[in-house]
């Protein structure tokens, strides 16, 4: 049986970030993944690093730390991994949010004003200025806001880079280890039982994304994390016609909604490879990943309403993934008071790519007993907004 300082459960980007961070702080770390690393949610998303979709509050404060962290990582990760490692494709490209109705315009401009009050650069621009940024944009825009702080990264490569950093820093990467139960001594969690044997650790971090509810239940301490499915369309390669991250104002409302039914909005961006990614959808249907033509048709129609040229563009494939939804729309980061030795780094829904690095830093600071860059109590499993919710799933 192996013994570690920390066992991190989940080989997606949040788990990989936590493993790399904690190993970099000198801890003996095991990163456990039930399948292959970078094969779940982190391989089925767009790689958004956004401040534009978050209102003032805890998550926005965490997002402010993210771009600086990603910019730094993009410039330094090859120092440890070598120059041959693939580029993580970090792009500080900025984002343009547009409305195409009068009601949407009013809501967008009001939302941007609240963000400016939280020190976010949110610049209202005219249609002419918006079309300077995006020449192929529809002329039906009723309001537009430019967010220079929005960025993008290639999520699968970024996850693999963090796994590689964890390994270089001494972490053990244990794939095909499905967590089946808890190891407890004297009322404390001291490791996990897995399909490949027991793995002991002084602390255990659940970072299993939308599967965190299942994992925590297996450990005897359930969480209200539920999967929320999202679908993305991918176009054929083309000369670049989309230059920033562009989405319609409905996206903000979809992000903050707890509705279990299908919600779609338009998020459009190009990739360095020449394709265009089109999202986004949200629906709570468990882990059902069946093909649904109505979702794809809604995404296509909304994308065309922003970029009419897409009507003549071929879609070569689509893919879907599951995001870890929390009922109060905030991630869980920190120790679980119900079981000593248990920690959480999950519940980020669609923001996990961007928030992975500051989440890992916060976990590291809490474990070290160091002063964090942000108030950790906002993300604690013991926070007031979860009062009664944890009991309901126990």
Per-10-residue mean pLDDT, the chain, length 394: 90 98 98 96 90 94 93 96 95 94 91 96 97 96 96 95 98 98 96 97 98 96 93 95 91 59 85 90 90 90 95 94 94 96 96 96 98 94 83 50
Domain boundary assignment for the chain = 4-65+156-224+328-393, 95-148+227-325
Q: Say if 4-65+156-224+328-393 and 95-148+227-325 have the same CATH topology.
A: no
Full 3-state SS string of the chain: CEEEEEEEECCCHHHHHHHHHHHHCCCCEEEECCCCCCCCHHHCCCCEECCCCCCCCHHHHHHHHHHHHHHHHHHHHHHHHCCCCCCCCCECCCEEEEECCHHHHHHHHHHHHHHHCCCCCCEEECHHHHHHHCCCCCCCCCEEEEECCCEECCHHHHHHHHHHHHHHCCCEEECCCCEEEEEEECCEEEEEEECCCCEEEEEEEECCHHHHHHHHHHCCCCCCCEEEEEEEEEECCCCCCCCCEEEECHHHHHHHCCCCCCEEEEEEEECCCCCEEEEEEEECECECCCCCHHHHHHHHHHHHHHCHHHHHCCEEEEEEEEEEECCCCCCEEEECCCCECEEEEECCHHHHHHHHHHHHHHHHHHHHCCCCCCCHHHHCCCCHHHCCHHHHHC
Distance CA 10, CA 208 (A): 4
- Two tokens, residue 379: 């993300």
Structural Rg of the chain based on CA atoms: 21
pLDDT at 142: 94
Instruction: Check if the beta carbon of residue 335 is closer than 8 Å to that of residue 347.
Output: no
CATH topology of domain 95-148+227-325: D-Amino Acid Oxidase; Chain A, domain 2 (3.30.9)
- Specify the pLDDT at position 393: 47
Q: Residue 256's pLDDT is what?
A: 53
What is the model's pLDDT at position 394? 45
The pLDDT value recorded for residue 280 is: 81
Distance between CA atoms of 356 and 209, rounded to whole angstroms? 11
Sign of torsion, CA 372 373 375 377? negative
pLDDT score, position 262: 81
CA distances from 25 to 11, 166, 368, 373 (A): 19, 11, 9, 16
Domain 4-65+156-224+328-393 class in CATH:
alpha beta
- The span from the CA of 214 to the CA of 4, in Å, is 23
């Amino acid at each position: 049986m192996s013994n570690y300082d920390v066992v991190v459960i989940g080989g997606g980007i949040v788990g990989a970030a936590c493993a790399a961070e904690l190993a970099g702080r000198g801890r003996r770390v095991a990163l456990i993944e039930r399948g292959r690393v970078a094969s779940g949610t982190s391989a089925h998303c767009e790689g958004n690093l956004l401040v534009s979709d978050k209102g003032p509050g805890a998550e926005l404060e965490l997002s402010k730390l993210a771009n600086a962290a990603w910019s730094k990582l993009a410039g330094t990760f090859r120092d440890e991994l070598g120059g041959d490692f693939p580029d993580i494709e970090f792009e500080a490209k900025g984002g343009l949010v547009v409305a195409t109705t009068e009601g949407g315009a009013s809501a967008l401009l009001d939302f941007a004003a609240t963000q400016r009050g939280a020190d976010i650069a949110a610049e209202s621009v005219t249609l002419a200025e918006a079309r300077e940024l995006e020449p192929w944009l529809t002329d039906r825009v009723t309001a537009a806001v430019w967010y220079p702080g929005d960025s993008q990264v290639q999520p699968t490569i970024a996850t693999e880079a963090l796994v590689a950093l964890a390994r270089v820093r001494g972490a053990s990467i244990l794939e095909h280890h499905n967590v089946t139960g808890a190891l407890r001594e004297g009322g404390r969690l001291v490791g996990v039982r897995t399909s490949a044997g027991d793995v002991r650790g002084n602390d255990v971090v659940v970072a299993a994304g939308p599967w965190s509810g299942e994992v925590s239940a297996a450990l005897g301490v359930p969480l209200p994390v539920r999967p929320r499915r999202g679908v993305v369309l991918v176009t054929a390669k083309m000369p670049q016609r989309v230059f920033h991250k562009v989405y319609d104002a409905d996206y903000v409302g979809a992000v903050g909604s707890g509705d279990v039914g299908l919600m779609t909005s338009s998020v459009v961006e190009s990739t360095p490879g020449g394709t265009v990614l089109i999202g986004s959808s949200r629906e709570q249907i468990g882990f059902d990943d069946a093909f649904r033509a109505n979702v794809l048709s809604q995404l296509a129609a909304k994308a065309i309403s922003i970029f009419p040229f897409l009507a003549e563009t071929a879609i070569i494939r689509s893919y879907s993934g599951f995001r870890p939804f929390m009922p109060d729309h905030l991630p869980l980061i920190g120790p679980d008071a119900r079981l000593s030795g248990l920690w959480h780094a999950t519940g980020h829904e669609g923001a996990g790519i961007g928030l992975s690095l500051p989440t890992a830093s916060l976990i590291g600071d809490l474990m070290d007993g160091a002063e964090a860059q942000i108030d950790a109590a906002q993300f604690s499993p013991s926070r007031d907004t979860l009062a009664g919710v944890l009991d309901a799933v126990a």
